[in-house]
Amino acid sequence: MKEQQYLFIDFEFTMPEKGWKTKGFYPEIIEAGIVSVVNGTILHEYSSYVKPERFPVLSKRCKSFLNIEQPQIDSGISFRQLVENMRKINEKRPCTIVTWGNMDMKVLKNNCLQAGVSFPFVGREIDLSMEYKRFFGDQNQTGLWKAVQEYGRDGTGKHHRALDDAMTTYNIFKLVEKDKKYLQKPKPTTIGDLVDFSKLFNHYA
């Protein structure tokens, strides 16, 4: 049986100019970051720029918000190649996909639909932001970097860089899992657990 792997995934998307209505616009993936983890060990880190197909020219708002330039995207791989690369990562081991928020998988699924290609992942999907919200009883969902700062830590690298955000998601995942184990208090040991009474009674029989 193949070992289970966790894929911590983050995408950055295109966005229209603020206040503009662009006919037929939908977010397209322009940067992908994936961290593959098996048994608590990082096996693989994947990062790539991706060329958008429907709206290939980035808006000023997108470039400013993501601190990204058009030539970087123009030199990226095609969306179909990205899907193929993700499919190969998935095929190596059964996987659980972990993202911060639900937008990453929504955009990926829609981009696959628009491109006429099948979704590359088979496995459980975890929205870590909702896990975090339920665990701490927050009313509102917390942003990725705010969440890691609430743990007294810093995010990895730069915010809104796909691989850095994927790594930060993994780091929060480890912290939350550690807290869950801490709160799962073991049952107090009874004297029956310490002494095998059957052997004791046999000794005095």
Catalytic positions, please? 12, 160
Cα 68 versus chain centre, distance: 21
CA distance 60 to 71: 14
CA distance 37 to 44: 7
CB count in 10 Å sphere of residue 21:
7
Closest CA to 29 of 44, 1, 48: 48
Question: Is residue 61 a contact partner of residue 15, using CB atoms and an 8 Å limit?
Answer: yes
